[in-house]
A and B are shown apart, each in its own frame.
Chain A
Amino acid sequence: MISWPNLVSQLFNGLALGALLALISSGLTIIYGTLGVLNLAHGAMFMIGGYAGFVTYQYTESFILAVIAGSLFVMLLGVVMERVIIRHFYHRPHEDQLLVTFGLGICFVELVRLLFSSQSQIVPPPALFQGITNLGFMFYPTYRLAVVGIVAVALGALFIILYRTRLGMIVRAGIEDSVMVDSLGINVYRVFMVVFGIGAMAAGFAGIVNAPVVSLTPGIGDDILVQTFVVVVIGGVGSFPGAILGGLIAGEIISVTSMFNPGYAYVMLFAAMTLVLVVRPHGLLGVQGRE
Chain B
Amino acid sequence: MLKQRPFLIETLTAIGLIVAPFVLPHLGFAPNTVNRILVWGLFGLGFDILFGFTGLLSFGQSAFYGTGGFVAAYLLTRAGFSNVLGALIIGMIAAAATGYLIGLIALRRTGIYFAMITVAIAEVFFFVEFNPLSDFTGGENGLPGVPTPSFNLGFTSIHFTNGWSLYQFIALCYFIGVIIALRIVRSPVGAIFSAIRDNPLRATAVGHNIHGYKLTAFVIAAAYAGFAGGLLGVLQAFMPPDAFTFDTSGQLVMQTAIGGRGTLFGPLVGATVWLFLQDFLQSALGLGAAWKLVLGVVFVLLVCFLRGGIIGGFVDLYHLVSGKRAGKAAETEETEVETPQQAPPAPLQAKEVAHPVYSGPILKATGLTKRYGGLVANSDIDFSVDQGELRGIIGPNGAGKSTFFKMLTCEVPPTSGQIMFEGRDITGLRVTDVCQLGLTKSYQVNQLFTGLTVRQNLTIAALAELRGKFRLDLFRSLSGVKGLTEQVEHTLALVNLTRRADTPVSELAYGEKRRLEIGLALATSPRLLLLDEPLAGMSPRERVETVKLLKSIARGRTMIIIDHDMDSLFELVERVTVLQEGRVLVSGTPEEIKNNAAVQEAYLGGVHGEIAA
Whether the pair A103, B303 counts as a contact (CB closer than 8 A) is yes
Whether the pair B115, A38 counts as a contact (CB closer than 8 A) is yes
Closest chain B residue to A290, Cβ basis? B112
Question: What would be 27 A-B contacts, judged by CB atoms less than 8 Å apart?
Answer: A95-B55, A95-B57, A96-B307, A98-B112, A99-B299, A100-B300, A102-B253, A107-B297, A110-B292, A111-B293, A225-B119, A226-B119, A226-B120, A226-B123, A226-B246, A233-B117, A237-B113, A261-B132, A263-B134, A265-B127, A267-B124, A270-B121, A270-B124, A281-B109, A291-B110, A291-B111, A291-B113
Q: Is A274 an interface residue (CB 8 A)?
A: yes
Whether the pair B254, A103 counts as a contact (CB closer than 8 A) is yes
Whether the pair A277, B117 counts as a contact (CB closer than 8 A) is yes
Interface string of B95-119 (1 = CB under 8 A from A): 0000000000100111111011101
Closest chain A residue to B118, Cβ basis? A229
Interface string of A27-45 (1 = CB under 8 A from B): 0000010000010000000
Query: Which of B105, B117, B127 is within 8 Å of A267, CB to CB?
Result: B127
Q: Is B360 an interface residue (CB 8 A)?
A: no
Q: Is A139 an interface residue (CB 8 A)?
A: no
Whether the pair A233, B296 counts as a contact (CB closer than 8 A) is no
Whether the pair A110, B131 counts as a contact (CB closer than 8 A) is no
Q: Is B375 an interface residue (CB 8 A)?
A: no
Q: Is B128 an interface residue (CB 8 A)?
A: yes
* Max chain B Cβ within 10 angstroms of own Cβ: one of A99, A111, A230, A269: A99
* A94-B254 contact in complex given A100-B300, A114-B293, C-beta closer than 8 Å: no
List A contacts of B296 (CB < 8 A).
103, 106-107, 110
A-contacting residues, B158-202, CB 8 Å? none
List A contacts of B115 (CB < 8 A).
38, 98
List B contacts of A32 (CB < 8 A).
112
Task: Looking at the assembled complex, report how far the CB atom of A113 sits from the nearest CB atom of chain B, in whole angstroms.
Answer: 6
Q: Is the interface of A mostly helix, strand, loop or mixed?
A: helix
List B contacts of A176 (CB < 8 A).
none
B-contacting residues, A250-291, CB 8 Å? 261-267, 269-270, 273-274, 277-278, 281, 290-291
Closest chain B residue to A283, Cβ basis? B113
Whether the pair B113, A266 counts as a contact (CB closer than 8 A) is no
A32–B116 Cα gap in the complex (Å)? 12
Q: Is B304 an interface residue (CB 8 A)?
A: yes
Closest chain A residue to B112, Cβ basis? A38
Total A residues in contact with B, Cβ cutoff 8 Å:
45
A232–B108 Cα gap in the complex (Å)? 16
A102–B253 Cα gap in the complex (Å)? 10
List B contacts of A232 (CB < 8 A).
116
Starting from the known contacts A38-B116, A223-B123, A232-B116, 13 additional A-B residue pairs (CB-CB under 8 Å) come to A96-B307, A103-B254, A103-B296, A113-B292, A229-B119, A233-B116, A261-B131, A264-B131, A267-B127, A267-B128, A270-B121, A278-B105, A278-B108
Q: Is B250 an interface residue (CB 8 A)?
A: yes
Query: Which of B127, B134, B292, B303 is within 8 Å of A96, CB to CB?
Result: B303
List B contacts of A270 (CB < 8 A).
120-121, 124
Q: Is A157 an interface residue (CB 8 A)?
A: no
Whether the pair B123, A273 counts as a contact (CB closer than 8 A) is no
A230–B117 Cα gap in the complex (Å)? 8
Q: Is B130 an interface residue (CB 8 A)?
A: yes
A275–B128 Cα gap in the complex (Å)? 19
Task: Looking at the assembled complex, report how far the CB atom of A269 sits from the nearest CB atom of chain B, in whole angstroms.
Answer: 8
Closest chain A residue to B122, Cβ basis? A226
Q: Is A55 an interface residue (CB 8 A)?
A: no
List A contacts of B257 (CB < 8 A).
99
Closest chain B residue to A100, Cβ basis? B303
A237–B115 Cα gap in the complex (Å)? 13
Q: Is B290 an interface residue (CB 8 A)?
A: yes
Query: Which of B105, B108, B290 is within 8 Å of A110, CB to CB?
Result: B290
Whether the pair A264, B123 counts as a contact (CB closer than 8 A) is no
Whether the pair A230, B293 counts as a contact (CB closer than 8 A) is no
A229–B116 Cα gap in the complex (Å)? 6
List B contacts of A229 (CB < 8 A).
116-117, 119-120
* A264-B290 contact in complex given A107-B300, A291-B110, C-beta closer than 8 Å: no
Q: Is B597 an interface residue (CB 8 A)?
A: no
Q: Is A180 an interface residue (CB 8 A)?
A: no
Q: Is A88 an interface residue (CB 8 A)?
A: yes
* Max chain B Cβ within 10 angstroms of own Cβ: one of A103, A107, A110, A265: A103
Q: Is B330 an interface residue (CB 8 A)?
A: no
Closest chain A residue to B290, Cβ basis? A114
Closest chain B residue to A36, Cβ basis? B112
Closest chain A residue to B293, Cβ basis? A110
A-contacting residues, B284-337, CB 8 Å? 289-290, 292-293, 296-297, 299-300, 303-304, 307
Closest chain B residue to A271, Cβ basis? B124
Task: Looking at the assembled complex, report how far the CB atom of A47 sits from the nearest CB atom of chain B, in whole angstroms.
Answer: 14
Whether the pair A106, B113 counts as a contact (CB closer than 8 A) is no
Whether the pair B289, A263 counts as a contact (CB closer than 8 A) is no
Whether the pair A273, B120 counts as a contact (CB closer than 8 A) is yes
Task: Looking at the assembled complex, report how far the CB atom of B253 sits from the nearest CB atom of chain A, in whole angstroms.
Answer: 7
Whether the pair A291, B293 counts as a contact (CB closer than 8 A) is no
List B contacts of A281 (CB < 8 A).
108-109
List B contacts of A290 (CB < 8 A).
112
* Max chain B Cβ within 10 angstroms of own Cβ: one of A95, A262, A267: A95
* A94-B112 contact in complex given A102-B253, A261-B131, A263-B127, C-beta closer than 8 Å: yes
Task: Looking at the assembled complex, report how far the CB atom of B241 sits from the nearest CB atom of chain A, in whole angstroms.
Answer: 13
Closest chain B residue to A118, Cβ basis? B289
